[in-house]
């Protein structure tokens, strides 16, 4: 299995989409390009339930052609019961 395929199988949850499902806050899914969300953070299954906050950074203006991301995790909520999934 290629390393790319391994990443595709392990990193499956969009942090902003996960919080949007819980909160219904459309600002979490706002576009970061002309027609799509190109600035995203994805996590593996054990970290899915640890996501407690997510934000896009718009400042300083013109600092980059991408948005910065802030993701807050509560690692006490990490799933460690299935070591094959966790490692």
Q: What is the pLDDT of residue 4?
A: 57
Q: What is the pLDDT of residue 60?
A: 84
Helix H or strand E encompassing 55: strand 51-57
In a structure prediction context, what are the per-residue pLDDT tens digits for the chain, which is 87 residues long? 455 555 555 668 999 999 999 999 999 999 988 888 989 999 988 889 999 999 998 888 888 888 889 999 999 998 778 666 655
| Cα–Cα distance measured from residue 39 to residue 16, given in angstroms and rounded to the nearest whole number | 10
**pTM for the model:** 0.75
Q: What is the pLDDT of residue 54?
A: 95
For the chain, the domains span: 3-86
């Amino acid at each position: 299995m290629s390393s790319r395929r391994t990443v595709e199988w392990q990193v499956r949850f969009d942090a902003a989409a996960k919080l949007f499902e819980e909160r219904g806050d459309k600002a979490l899914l706002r576009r970061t390009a002309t027609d799509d969300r190109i600035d995203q953070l994805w996590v593996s299954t054990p970290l899915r339930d640890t996501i407690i906050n997510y934000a896009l950074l718009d400042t300083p203006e013109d600092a980059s052609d991408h948005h910065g991301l802030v993701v807050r995790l509560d690692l006490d909520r990490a799933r460690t019961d299935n070591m094959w999934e966790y490692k």
